Structure 1
Amino acid sequence: MKNSIADRVVYFLSGYPPFNMLNEKSLHKIAAQVQIIYLEKGDAVFEKGDAYHNDFYIVRDGAIYLYHTNENDKNIIGINDTGDIFGLRALITKENYKLSAVANEESIVYAIPIEVFESVTNNIVKINKYLITSFASNAYDPYTAEEYNEIFVDYIPNKSSDIANFQTAHFTTKPITCKPSKTLQYAANKMCKHDISCIIVVDENKHPIGIISNNDIKNKIATGLYPITTKVSNIMSAPVITDKENITVANAQLKMIQHSVSHICITKDGTPNSKLTGILTHHDILVTQGNNPSVILKDVRRAKRTRYLRIARLKANTLLKSYLEQNIPLTHILKVISSINDAVTERAIYLSIKKMKTPPPVAFSWISIGSQGRQEQLLFTDQDNALIFEDVPKHNYNTVKTYFIELSKHVTKTLNIIGFEYCKADMMASNPEWCKSISEWKTQFSNWILNPDEKSILLSSIFFDYNHIYGDKTLVDRLTDNIFETVGDSSRFYSILANDAMKSPPPLGFFKQFLVEQNGEHKDLFNIKSRALMPLIDAARVLVLSKKIKNVNSTYQRFEKLAELEENNKELFLSCSYAFKALLKFKTKQGILHENSGKFIELSTLTKEEQLKLKRCFKPIKEIQESLKLRFNTSNSIL
């Protein structure tokens, strides 16, 4: 008799990784054993400290929050939505749960039996890669990073990296060693002499029995727990993790995660009972993978020509696509891509200065504005930037400004060649209007704040999101201090900003249908940027300004900071943070899929699950706009 429930489970699983990598027969074998769990809001799947289950989980409907709890507080670490997997600790490390998983609304979760899953996925490379990466990314949070020595696995699922991941790992063949009777001072001097991060402790037969790393020295010697004259046998980490000389990169990564280490000792027979022949480090793995954030950043910082910068930035696009396919948390993606974007811009400025006939005449700061200023620029989009230079005597002003405009033209041209389009509104440092002295910038912001009009509010929404990239940061700090001093308690300015943040109503109509464009070239398309992302971006901006919060620019971090400050509104702010990340991730995926900005979406191309997931993200928009209306009395914000 046909099992219709199992068929529905198979249909659902086939749409999400890693199950979409399995054939139908394997999926049916899993589905036949899946337990369907129905949860009310507040129900726990598991709690911190619980013994690991014999299942891991995937969300069918609803949302499961992951919490870190202690005696006094409960903090959200992540939110799992439809298609997200969680509870991988049981599959990878066989340890008690470090977090609690609790339903935030009515939810349905599929419990996947580990034994059945492993029986059908044994030796399937892509699935092992996906699960290891998912676990590593979940482990990389403030509560487990130290425990896992901040090991993070960056997989790039393309042909070249697949070859790299499953080839024999390259390791150091002449590791530096010492005897257990030696003092820590002796070992540290030896590490310093050879410029290495660890030293292997071996017995008289040269079998590895322990390891001393920089972390051991920091945690056990620098803290005063042991004197520098103590024997290495007293503080070495033991036993060591070992493997054979033919270990692959993928297996090495798995072993490092499973055992929470960043070094593997290579021995003759792969056990600690044979002669040490080498040492494999996490850094060795990163170098082998090549298309990795660390390697890309090194390529950027070494680039001597624009075309090499372009090649490095294109690698970041491949990395971005890989991260999205593997469902890596957006917070990690934003940090990685933003770091690469900033490094590319910094190098473009450095190379442009080299093209100038003379060095900069005075101190200056290059700032990114808009999405890059908020560190939310994932795809190649328009470049938005500005330049601040130190005040100079009046008779030198024109000469200095002319220099920086010429420099800015070199920079914006370089960025354009790399792939960042010129700003259509010319909001770039090459425009004299956005290349000014620090005093002029202070006056400019003061005018926007004290004499707000429609244009100044529009510019405020762009220029209040800025980030220092290159040069003298103190200029930016001085500007920031002046802005907050000028804003003060200007309720009218906040009210106008809040009113602007509500110019786009929640994206659903009366009958819960999407509000789409009514005319023009984008007729019947959904504008996810203006209707969903911008209301959250604008709301976060006015709220942090009103709270005098400095140096927190990204939208999700602004909401998380607000959640810390206002316990009564914590749930709303965290919901806004989550909604923003989910919407930005969705927009980015659409942009990659259609090779555009992802701004306009053809709703008919979305699955029902995708549409439901989008609609769930719209709820916080309505709530935060209602909050702004009450908080800033927007009815009195007429210009």
Structure 2
Amino acid sequence: MKNTIAERIFDFLKNFPPFNILEKEQLFKIATHVKVHYIEQDKSVFTQNENPHNEFYIVKDGAIGLYRTMDNDNILVDICDEGDLFGLRPIIQNNQYLMSAVANEESILYAISVELLKEIIDSNEKVKKFIVASFSTNIKTPYAKTNNGQLFANEDVLNKNNAGISDVQTAQYSKNPITCTKAYTIQQAAEVMSVKRVGSILITENNKPIGIITDKDLRLKIATGLISIKEKVTTIMSSPVITCHKKITVAEAQINMLKHKITHLCITEDGTPNSNLKGILSEHDIVVLHGNNPSVLIKELKRAKNVDTLKYIREKTSKLLSGYMEQNIPIRFVSNIISEINEAITIKAIKLSIEEMETEPPVKFTWLALGSQGRKEQLLITDQDNALVFENVNPKDYDFTKNYFLQLAKKITNKLHIIGFENCPADMMGSNPRWCISLNQWKEQFNTWITKPTEEAIMMCTIFFDYSLVYGNVELVDEMSESIFESIDNYEIFLNFLGRNALRNPPPLGFFRQFLVEHDGEHKDQFDLKSRALMPLIDAARLLTLSVNHKNKNNTIERFKEMAKAEPQNKYLYEMCIDSFKILLRFRTNQGLKNNNSGRYVDLNNLSKSEKLKLKGCFKPIKDIQELISVRFKLNQIGM
């Protein structure tokens, strides 16, 4: 008589390490001895300092949070969801549990006898290597209040030498990826994956990757009966693949996986799909608990069901930022990671808001981030700047449509405010009727600003030109962008006005190389790092890329990189601008974290001589880039 329960457990376990490398007989033996546990939400599986159970656990359904108690505060170290294994280390090492395991939601666990696993370890070298590799490393949390980014040793001693190293190390990827051609059927590809015991297969043509199939594809598209296994692999493969160069760092890999919502990266000779395949890097290859990374926050975000959870995640993101800055992680990596988390938080806030509406959106729409968030340069929590674009509708439907999106936008901005993003003092938000309009109205608005460049219009352009799509229909954004460039082409003198605006703040040093400080007001005698140092570089990068029709580049560093490619004769200057911007952005972030504010205004009396010299070293590129703009746009000749 068949043991159907054991067969179901077998079919589940075979998809996850280390069970996927067991012999069939070994795995079935485990499956027949598995105990199934149902854990109610907020109930513990085990607690910190408790003696180890004689079994470890793998999550079948639900989510288990691993928490470490420090200074009477429970710190989330990781979230285990489908296929994740936990609770084995203390049994192997015969130690007490270093963390508590609590159900974040109703969960079903498979409990496996450690004695049974030990029998298999003795006879299976691959499993032994997996256990050693996975459980002899230290556990790391980036969220500890007093120990950000450092490793917990087994005896609760911190190993400071390893902090933050893995982010900038080259990721270790599989150099022997399993491949097939597009002539294969899905069944043939699945058989190869089964024989090779891998969770993915790459489809190649002339040794270049053109697609990928994962276990998830087989579960969702084949096991459900939607597509026949007799079809070609091209029917279900994900294409194009996301590729990276072979020297990709762990941080870069994490950013790419987060950005594209994928679990595998193809490694090619030059990082493009057009060069030879070198390997594959999976999410499992990145040892999540061995480096500061946002993976646990993204897992939490996916499961968040209310705005309080989003606020909690944003607060932990600030702690993550602090840990990265302390470890001196490259600011570009930090900026990318924090921006991706901020964007994910915003997307979740939008989805929660849509769920609260009585009906689905009546037409397509797009939510835009503006300013520093639009440029993906928002590291510290600052004001929210956003806008909403909705599809053109018949005049008779306009009022209803706009009222719907205004209600939605108010829900979104209120949630963002609760999360920690203050309302914009100038009300540059999608909840403002002025910034919640149809596509045609946005086109008309931009055209008016460009063809009638008043001082207010130019100011608006510096804010709204740095938009980026956060959620919604990309075609609306593309059409709006095309309209902007068309208006600029038809009224080129607009760039001269934008150029004059880019020079509104002179170089930050006076004639005697003294810092130019505020002369009055709340910040008297303080140095305005944003207006006098960062904004001149931001404004210059925006102007220059607009002048050469470079689209879809909103980030200041990326804009200067594009200009360096376009104008080799000025490459050195643009690279100096990039270096200065990175230093200034890091400096502002550190100031903000130190003083618990935006980091905009700096009290020079609190800076050391070396800090002042480092800042002054960033100012020459500002002077040089402003001179280039003045000459290029003939601002002196035309009285601007």
TM-score (norm: length of structure 1): 0.60
Q: 2:485 maps to what in 1?
A: 484
Within the alignment, does 1:402 sit opposite 2:411 as a pair? no
Provide closer, same or farther for how the CA distance between residues 218 and 589 of structure 1 changes in structure 2, counting only shifts above 3 A. farther
Q: 2:445 maps to what in 1?
A: 444
CA deviation profile, 1:204-226 (whole Å, cap 9, x unmatched): xxxxxxxx7858886997779xx
Provide closer, same or farther for how the CA distance between residues 215 and 504 of structure 1 changes in structure 2, counting only shifts above 3 A. farther
CA contact (8 A) 1:365 1:472 kept: yes
SS of aligned partner of 2:387: strand
CA contact (8 A) 2:374 2:467 kept: yes
Q: 2:19 maps to what in 1?
A: none
- What is the deviation of 1:128? 2.9
CA contact (8 A) 2:390 2:439 kept: yes
CA contact (8 A) 1:367 1:385 kept: yes
Q: 1:367 maps to what in 2?
A: 368
Match runs of 1:520-559 below 5 Å? 520-559=521-560
**CA distance in 1: counterparts of 2:387 and 2:607, whole angstroms:** 38
**CA distance in 2: counterparts of 1:562 and 1:283, whole angstroms:** 37
CA contact (8 A) 2:368 2:469 kept: yes
Q: 2:509 maps to what in 1?
A: 508
Q: 1:458 maps to what in 2?
A: 459
CA contact (8 A) 1:508 1:515 kept: yes
Q: Which amino acid aligns with 2:625?
A: I
- What is the deviation of 1:290? 9.7
CA contact (8 A) 1:370 1:466 kept: yes
Provide closer, same or farther for how the CA distance between residues 150 and 636 of structure 1 changes in structure 2, counting only shifts above 3 A. farther
Q: 1:323 maps to what in 2?
A: 324
**CA distance in 1: counterparts of 2:359 and 2:188, whole angstroms:** 49
CA contact (8 A) 1:133 1:326 kept: no
**CA distance in 1: counterparts of 2:510 and 2:287, whole angstroms:** 49
**CA distance in 1: counterparts of 2:203 and 2:429, whole angstroms:** 48
CA deviation profile, 1:179-223 (whole Å, cap 9, x unmatched): xxxxxx9996467559xxx74xxxxxxxxxxxx785888699777
Q: 1:353 maps to what in 2?
A: 354
Q: 1:418 maps to what in 2?
A: 419
**CA distance in 1: counterparts of 2:463 and 2:502, whole angstroms:** 13
**CA distance in 2: counterparts of 1:572 and 1:347, whole angstroms:** 40
Q: 1:339 maps to what in 2?
A: 340
- What is the deviation of 1:318? 1.2
SS of aligned partner of 1:635: coil
SS of aligned partner of 1:488: helix
Matched residue count:
411
Q: 2:173 maps to what in 1?
A: 149
Q: 1:429 maps to what in 2?
A: 430
- What is the deviation of 1:478? 0.2
CA contact (8 A) 1:286 1:295 kept: no
**CA distance in 2: counterparts of 1:630 and 1:150, whole angstroms:** 52
Q: 1:129 maps to what in 2?
A: 163
- What is the deviation of 1:292? 3.0
Q: 1:622 maps to what in 2?
A: 623
Within the alignment, does 1:302 sit opposite 2:303 as a pair? yes
Q: 1:12 maps to what in 2?
A: none
**CA distance in 2: counterparts of 1:572 and 1:582, whole angstroms:** 15
Structure 2: 5+ residue stretches without partners:
1-156, 176-185, 211-249, 251-262, 265-281
Q: 1:609 maps to what in 2?
A: 610
**CA distance in 2: counterparts of 1:448 and 1:401, whole angstroms:** 22
Q: Which amino acid aligns with 1:127?
A: N
**CA distance in 1: counterparts of 2:379 and 2:209, whole angstroms:** 41
**CA distance in 2: counterparts of 1:316 and 1:496, whole angstroms:** 39
Q: Which amino acid aligns with 2:162?
A: N
Match runs of 1:80-119 below 5 Å? none
SS of aligned partner of 1:386: strand
**CA distance in 1: counterparts of 2:592 and 2:473, whole angstroms:** 35
Q: Which amino acid aligns with 1:125?
A: N
Match runs of 1:592-603 below 5 Å? 592-603=593-604
CA contact (8 A) 1:348 1:414 kept: yes
Q: 1:65 maps to what in 2?
A: none
Q: Which amino acid aligns with 1:317?
A: S
Identity %: 48
SS of aligned partner of 1:380: coil
SS of aligned partner of 1:469: strand
In angstroms, what is the RMSD of aligned CA positions?
3.2
- What is the deviation of 1:134? 6.7
Within the alignment, does 1:469 sit opposite 2:470 as a pair? yes
CA contact (8 A) 2:499 2:629 kept: yes
CA contact (8 A) 2:564 2:570 kept: yes
Provide closer, same or farther for how the CA distance between residues 489 and 585 of structure 1 changes in structure 2, counting only shifts above 3 A. farther
Q: 2:51 maps to what in 1?
A: none
Provide closer, same or farther for how the CA distance between residues 127 and 634 of structure 1 changes in structure 2, counting only shifts above 3 A. same
**CA distance in 1: counterparts of 2:173 and 2:528, whole angstroms:** 42
**CA distance in 1: counterparts of 2:209 and 2:371, whole angstroms:** 44
Provide closer, same or farther for how the CA distance between residues 222 and 189 of structure 1 changes in structure 2, counting only shifts above 3 A. farther
**CA distance in 2: counterparts of 1:219 and 1:127, whole angstroms:** 44
- What is the deviation of 1:434? 0.3
CA deviation profile, 1:79-100 (whole Å, cap 9, x unmatched): xxxxxxxxxxxxxxxxxxxxxx
CA contact (8 A) 2:372 2:378 kept: yes
Within the alignment, does 1:379 sit opposite 2:380 as a pair? yes
- What is the deviation of 1:610? 1.2
- What is the deviation of 1:491? 3.4
Match runs of 1:239-318 below 5 Å? 283=284, 286-288=287-289, 292-318=293-319
Structure 1: 5+ residue stretches without partners:
1-122, 140-144, 152-184, 200-211, 225-252, 254-261, 264-280
CA contact (8 A) 1:385 1:427 kept: yes
Provide closer, same or farther for how the CA distance between residues 455 and 216 of structure 1 changes in structure 2, counting only shifts above 3 A. closer
Q: 1:113 maps to what in 2?
A: none
- What is the deviation of 1:315? 1.6
**CA distance in 2: counterparts of 1:567 and 1:291, whole angstroms:** 37
Q: Which amino acid aligns with 1:383?
A: Q
**CA distance in 1: counterparts of 2:559 and 2:509, whole angstroms:** 25
Provide closer, same or farther for how the CA distance between residues 407 and 638 of structure 1 changes in structure 2, counting only shifts above 3 A. farther
Provide closer, same or farther for how the CA distance between residues 338 and 191 of structure 1 changes in structure 2, counting only shifts above 3 A. farther
CA contact (8 A) 2:331 2:586 kept: yes
**CA distance in 2: counterparts of 1:150 and 1:486, whole angstroms:** 49
CA deviation profile, 1:401-447 (whole Å, cap 9, x unmatched): 00100100000000001000000000000000000000000000000
Provide closer, same or farther for how the CA distance between residues 191 and 328 of structure 1 changes in structure 2, counting only shifts above 3 A. farther
CA contact (8 A) 2:442 2:480 kept: yes
**CA distance in 2: counterparts of 1:439 and 1:289, whole angstroms:** 50
Q: Which amino acid aligns with 1:429?
A: G
Provide closer, same or farther for how the CA distance between residues 589 and 637 of structure 1 changes in structure 2, counting only shifts above 3 A. farther
Q: Which amino acid aligns with 2:550?
A: I
**CA distance in 2: counterparts of 1:323 and 1:219, whole angstroms:** 40
- What is the deviation of 1:361? 0.6
**CA distance in 2: counterparts of 1:319 and 1:630, whole angstroms:** 43
CA contact (8 A) 1:591 1:599 kept: yes
**CA distance in 2: counterparts of 1:577 and 1:354, whole angstroms:** 42
**CA distance in 1: counterparts of 2:209 and 2:291, whole angstroms:** 36
CA deviation profile, 1:138-172 (whole Å, cap 9, x unmatched): x4xxxxx6xx4399xxxxxxxxxxxxxxxxxxxxx
Q: Which amino acid aligns with 1:627?
A: L
Q: Which amino acid aligns with 1:601?
A: V
Provide closer, same or farther for how the CA distance between residues 484 and 434 of structure 1 changes in structure 2, counting only shifts above 3 A. same
Q: Which amino acid aligns with 1:485?
A: E
Q: 1:75 maps to what in 2?
A: none
Provide closer, same or farther for how the CA distance between residues 403 and 522 of structure 1 changes in structure 2, counting only shifts above 3 A. same
